Structures are given as C-alpha cells and as structure tokens.
Chains A and B, each alone.
Chain A
Amino acid sequence: MLKIIAAALAGLSLTACAMGTTNISLAKAPIARPALLAEAPSRMVAITQITDSRDETMRDRIGDKRNGYGMVMGKIGTTEPVPDVVKKVLTDTFTANKHKVVTDAAGANVKVDAEITKFWFDYKVGLVTVEFFADAQVRMSVKDANNAEIFKHDFKGYASEKTAGGLSDVWTRVMDAALADLSREISLSTDLKAALEKANQNLAAAAGQPAS
C-alpha cells in the first residue's frame, strides 16, 4: 500500500505542470519584418481600439492543458492581456514597415481598430511526436483622419510545429510564430498598402492641397 501511495505522490509531483494556469509571455522580442507596407509613404498611425471578441467563455485563457485522456487539467494564459499582446504586434508591424505609431489619434493620418476573433493554442499527441498549433485572428479596420473607413479585413496568423515534446518554451515559440505570421499577413496586404497611400490623398483633397 505504501508503494502505491509513494507512486501516486511521485506521479502527482511530476504532473503539477499539467494543472493550474501557466502564463506565457508573448511577443517579447520584435517579430515583424519590413515588407510591402514599407513601400507606402510613411504615415502616422494611431492604434485606437483593440476589442476582444473571442467567445466569452474562452477569454480567460489561450489554450487548455489536457491529460492523456484529453481531460482539461489547467489553463494556458498570457502574462499580459491578449489585447495588449495584439497591440504590441500591430505596433511592431507598422514600425517595422517605417510608419510611426502615435498615441494622439487627433494628429494621426490613420486610426487602426482591431477586433480579436481568435487567439488559441492547442496540441495533438501522436505516437512519438506532439504537434502544436497556434491560431491568431484579427479583424482590422482602418479609418482616415476624417473617420471614414478606408480598409477592413480579417487577418489570420497560423503556425504549427511537430516536436518530441515541450512545455511553455515551445508553447511560446509556436504562439509567437503565429503572431509573426499574422504580422506578415498584415505587412503583405496590397489593400492595406493602397489604403495607407490613399489616406493622405483624402486629407489633401479635403484641404484642397496636393497629396504627398
């Protein structure tokens, strides 16, 4: 009997990581690279609103920790609120593409609103490997200085990685890869580039001046 109790205690001590909440720090290092958006004239961008539109029952985490039966044992969370992480990614993306992110919306060329529709991490256990998945989706809306919406699009960042196993370091890496993919999707958007080009034309037209 004593052996069984000892084995159970040893098992439980090993599984502490499977229970409770593990918070991971995302987008700690810059994840954006310059791409097509850098070809648009430099604009002053204000990130005005980040709304969390994920299912209400899922806003307290970004993933579940499950045991071998698939039962949920704990939560995977973030050290910063998810909207703050997304704001960081957007700031990083516009900055890497040579635009200036400003806090004063009144002085900005464009105002960016984002709605988080999905932010989820999951994994599938195979025979010898574990496949980790991360999915970050954002609906972005861009308004010019006259508050006219000049761009709206759903962006999706996705990443997966098959490894022999891993804990929070791997979860962080895969989720960061999805955020880097989200940033890349935004940076490669021809329509967003066109909207940034158009932003000052609208202003100039309103003021009766030639656009830059």
Chain B
Amino acid sequence: MRELVSLLNVFCLLSLLAVGGGSAVLPQMEHETVTVHGWVSADDFASIYSLGQMAPGPNMTMVGLIGYKAVAHAGMPGGMAFLGMLIVLVAFYLPSSFLTYGASHIWDAFHDNPWRDSIQKGMAPITIGLMLAGVHAVGKTASYNPAHSMHFNSITISVGLAVTAILFFKHINPALLILVGGVVGWFFLRGI
C-alpha cells in the first residue's frame, strides 16, 4: 500500500515537471525509480523505456510498466500489478492534463504578452539539456555499461549511433529501426 502511495507521489510530481515534453523528465524519473526507490533495476528502466518506443500512442505511456514492476517488486499479488500500472498512468497524465485544461481557458488573455516568447526561448535550452540528460540516463545502461564486455558495449554503441545517423539522412519510421535493433541484438549479443 505504501508503495502505491509513493508511486502516486513520484509520478504526479514528474507530470508537472515535464516541461517541453516527456523526455525532459527521463533523468529525474530514472533517478527516482532506480536509485531512490529501487522499483526497477537500471536494466529494467532501459528496457521499459525502449519497449515504450515500439508501442503506438504517446511514447511515455511506458511509465505504466514501471508501476507494474514496482508492485511486483514490493511483493504484492499479481492482480495488484495492474492497479500499480493504472495508478502510475493516472498520476503521470492527469495533473498536467488538468493544468493544460485550465490554462487553455486563460491562455488567450496572455496571447500578446511578450513574456510568453521569453519563456519559450528561455526554456528551450533547458529542455534540450534535460533531454540530453535523458540520453545519458538510459545510455549509461543501454549503450555503455561497465558491467558488460568491451565487445558488447561496442555493439550497443554502434547500434545507437547507426540509428541516430540513419534518422538524420533517411525518413524511416523509428519503431521499425528499433525493431531492427532488436534483431541485431538477438543476432550479435547472445551469449556475450
């Protein structure tokens, strides 16, 4: 029960901190769920994040899986796992949605306020910095992991950089590329 309340607290706060989109809270989410609460391992976090990239819809819906694992981790029965998932999804989507709903009412009043432009310009580099920290948060497990061999890490880094490069030059559905990453992983990373 205490875990469910903690999940609610953590993800409600993350919801309201997600400035500039969901990726901006990845580093904080990783820190809270892996290091502070130990709901998921660093490997779990990287896997869950990347599974989320393959599902349709908003890519941060994967946060539900963290709730799912957290409940299992706390030793609660299996049926509760879906409750954990539901709590996290509600906690992560509802606060920001309420805020947006309310703010879209009063937004028009600020339409010509020059500070709006300042906020957008000022926040842009912070959002990018947070997304970069998100790359680091997932990458320190998924791309360069000291627990793995040099050979393993060189493959994971190559796969990541290849995806980055391909997406810059070709218009391909990213979900497809991630699936290809899975095939490459299955082929080259087994048993090493």
Binding partners A and B: no
Chain A positions near chain B (C-beta within 8 angstroms): none
